Every structure is written in C-alpha cells, then in structure tokens.
Amino acid sequence: MIGEKKIAVVLPAFNAGMTLEKTYKEIPMDIVDLVILVDDKSRDYTLKVAQESGIGQIIRHDQNLGYGGNQKTCYNKGLELGADIVVMLHPDYQYTPKLIPAMAGHTLPISSYISLQYEWH
C-alpha cells in the first residue's frame, strides 16, 4: 500500500515463460498488495512458471483475446479485487519492476504526497 491505497500489479502475459520469473521477483512486494497474471493462451510454459512462482491470482484465457482483450481482463480483475491503483507490468521485462513505486506514487493527490512527506521527516 501507498497512502492507504491498495496496489495491484497486473501482468498481461503471452509466451513470457523465459522472463516471467525474473520480472516477478523484482516486484516490490513491500508496497504491492496483489499480483494478477492473465495468460492469453500462451504456447510456452508461462502458466507453469506463474504457478511455480507463487503469483496470487492467475487467469488463463480459453482462447487468445489479443493484447487489448488481455488488458481488459487485467484491469477488470484488479478492480474486482478492490485495487485503488492498478499498475500494468509487462512480464517480458520491457522495463524493471523497480519503477513501480514511482509509477504508483504519481497517482496520489498532491496533498497526500505532501502529507506523507511531512510524516517521514
């Protein structure tokens, strides 16, 4: 959580078996409350890696819905599970998950940010 906000990281996955574990291990779980992976009917071992990694919520599409369909499932599930902030993270390691605190923190109102900064001093 950041500032009382529940944070979900969603992973729209398609054939991400080779990079998923590395991506998942770098998610800052000290602020992330929930990780959701949506597998868009991958042809590789993405689902197996997801299960072995301990990802909390795993959804597998029965048919490939494409990137847009995968995104919709990701966001809908995050909201359904009560997330206040949903951060999409590509499991093919396009960028480091270490950026999540900065991305999630920018969604807070300025007054919340100032209040949090003040409390830390």
Q: Which of 7-16, 83-92, 103-112 is least confident?
A: 103-112
Number of alpha carbons in the 13 Å side-chain half-sphere of residue 72: 7
- What is the CA 110 to chain-centroid distance, rounded? 23
CA distance 99 to 87: 10
- Is pLDDT above 50 for 64? yes
Tokens of 62: 């029965």
- Reply yes or no on whether the pLDDT at 92 is more than 50: yes
Phi-psi sector, 82: left (phi>0), alpha (psi -120 to 50), beta: left
Residue 106: DSSP 8-state:
T
Name residue 11's beta-bridge partners: 37
pLDDT tens digits, one per residue of 9-37:
999 999 999 999 999 999 999 999 999 99
Give the fold, CATH level 3, of 7-120: Spore Coat Polysaccharide Biosynthesis Protein SpsA; Chain A (3.90.550)
pLDDT of amino acid 119: 39
* 115 pLDDT higher than 70: no
Average per-residue pLDDT for the chain: 86
Q: What is the CB-side half-sphere exposure of residue 54 using CA atoms within 13 A?
A: 4
- In this predicted structure, the answer to whether residue 110 has a pLDDT above a threshold of 90 is no
Domain boundaries, the chain: 7-120
